[in-house]
Copies of this chain bind each other. A is one copy, B any other.
Amino acid sequence: MTTTIKRRDAGVSLFHALSDVTRLEIMERLKEGEQCVCDLTDALKTGQSRLSFHLKVLKDAGLITDRPEGRWTYYALNREGLEELEAVVQALRGSRPRVGSSSRCR
């Protein structure tokens, strides 16, 4: 199915975006609510360039949104992205946990 493939690709980029400690920390911080980059550099004690890189990865995956305002840019969790993530994860659960379905090894 095309939709299966699409979900697979979406899965890859979602999972990849979350497969990094720094990015998971960012997500945890954003659970507290919208934050600007300077909040995050303080909180995570890391360089601005590095943070910007990771924020971009999360944003490209659709997991967070940015809202530039004046000199600052505010980042927040993206509910849609998280819902898609949940959908992908749900799809991983074996629909039929059939036992002994293995076929041709004799």
| A residues with CB within 8 A of B | 4, 8-9, 11-12, 15-16, 18-21, 24-25, 27-28, 30-36, 38-39, 72, 74, 77, 79, 82, 85-86, 89, 92-105
Contact = CB atoms under 8 A, between A and B. Distances in A.
The copy count of this chain in the complex is: 2
Given A31-B92, A72-B105, A96-B31, A15 B12 contact: no
A74 to B, nearest CB: 6
Contacts of A31: 92-96
A70 to B, nearest CB: 9
Contacts of A103: 35, 39
Contact of A15 (B18, B33, B94): B18
